[in-house]
Structure 1
Amino acid sequence: MPKVDVTAVVNAHREGLLLKPTLDSVRRCFELAREKKLAVELLVAMDRSDELTLEVVQHGIADIDNARIVPMDYGDVGHCRNQAALLAQGKYVAFLDGDDLWGKNWIVDAFKMAQADARELVLHPEVNVYFGQDPHVFVHIDSEDLKFDLAGLALVNYWTSLCFVRTAFLVSNPYPETNLLEQMGYEDWGWNLKAISAGALHKCVPETGHAIRMKRVSLVRQTNSAACIAEPSDIFPAALKNRSKKANSMIRIAA
C-alpha cells in the first residue's frame, strides 16, 4: 500500500450544493500539497446524507485522485470522526465540515509544522472567518501562549473542530459522542480537553485560516438549546490548584 501523508476527512450530512465550494477548497489544498510532494487522500464521511448531497459529492470528487466516499449511519459527528480515523491511511488526519472552507496552504503548512516538532500536537488555523449567520472573526490561541488560561476551558472552547492531528493519537483518544437527551454535547470541546489530558499541545499554524459557515440551524445551536455541557475532564483541578499557588505567591511578594 502506498504511503499517505495526510487524509483529509470531510464530514458530510445534508449540505447539498453547499458541499461544492467545500470540495473545491480541498482540491486547491491537494494541488499545493502534491506540488510539495505530499501524498494525500480524501475521505468523505457521509452520515445519513440525502440524494442531492451524494450527487454533489460524486461529481465534486470525480477529478480528485485518491478520493473515496464512506457511507455512515450514526447521526453523530464525533462517532463519524472516530470511524474516519480508523479508515484513514494517512499519518495525519485533517477534518473539514461539509459547508466550511480551508485556506489553500492549510495542509502543507500544518504538515510541515507537525513534522518539525516531535511533541504530540493538535494543530489549528491561526484565524477563523465566520460567514453567513452572525459573521465574525475568531483568532485561535496557542496553548503555549503566556495568555493561555487552562482553567478558562471550563467555560469556553478555545478551538474549532477543524484540526490537524496524528491519526494514531486520534484512534487512541476518540471523540466523545453527543447525547442531547442526557445534556452531553460539544464533542469538539470535550475532545480538546481529552487531548490535553493525553499530553497533546494545541498549537496554531502561522498564516493559515479557515472560513466557517454559520447557519440558523446547527448542531451547536441545538446543543446550546439543550443546555449541554462538554464531557467532564480531569485537567481542571490541577489547573485551579496551580492558579491558586500563583495567586498566593503574588500575595506573599506584595506583602
Structure 2
Amino acid sequence: MNISERFLIIHRVTGFVGRVTRSQPRFMLIMIGAGWGILKEIFLPSTWRRTVKIEFWKTLRQVTAGGLLSVIVVASITGFGIVAQAVFWLGFAGMAQMTGGILASVLVREIAPVLVGVILLGRSGMLMLAEMGNLATQGQLKTLTSLGIDPFLSFVLPRTVAMTISGFTLGTLFSLIALGTGYVVCWAKGIVTVSLWSFMFQVVNSVNPLDYIGIPIKFLLSGLVVGLCCCLSGMDITSEDNLTTLLPRGFSRGILSVLAINVVVDLVLGSV
C-alpha cells in the first residue's frame, strides 16, 4: 500500500467520523443559536412589527386556550393520583409533616414542568411543526426570504415567545389545580382536616428558596424549547421527509428537549 492509498483511507475514515460527530449535536447547536437570536431580538422595538404582533397574539390565544382544557384534566388526574395518595400514605406512616415538602419537590418542581411541556408539545407543538413543514416543502419560506422577509422574525420568534408565556401560565394553573384537587379528595375522605389555605401554606412554606426561581424558570424554558424545537424541526425538513417522518422526529426532539432543560435547571440550582 503506497502513500496515496493510505492518505485516501485516512481521509475517508476522518471524513466519516466528522460527519457522524457533526450530525449528532447539529440540531442542538441550531437550537442554542436560535435561542440566543430570540434573546437578542426580543427586546428590539423594530422586531415587533404589526405582522409579528399579529402572529404572537394568534399563537398565544391558540396555545393557551387550546391547552387549558388538557391542563385542567391532566392536573385533576394528577392531583387525585399523586397528591391524594401522597397525603394518605404519609399520614398513614405518621409523616404527615413531610407532606408539603414532598408535594413541593415532587409535584410542583419535577412533574408539573414535564407534563406541561408534553401537553404543549402534543396539543400545539405538533400543529406548529406541521405548519412550518408545509411552508418549507412548498417553498413559501424561500419565497418570503427572497422578498426580504425573515422567516425567523416572522414565525419562529413570535411563536416561541408565545409558547414561553403560555408555558408559565399553564404551569402555574396546573400546579394550583393539582394541589386543589388533591386537597378536595383528601378532605372528602376525611384524610385532611385543615383548611385549604393551611394546606397550601404548608406546601408553599416547604418550598426551597431557590425553587421560587427554579420552578418559574422551568415553566418558561419548557415552553421555550417546545416552541423553538417545533419551529426549527419544521424548517429543517428535507426533500425526502414527509409528515410520517417529520412528526415522530419532532416529537422525540421535543420530549428530549423538555427533559434535558429540566435536568439542566436542577443541576445548575443544585450547584448553587
TM value normalised by structure 2 = 0.20
Structure with greater strand percent = 1
Rg larger in structure: 2
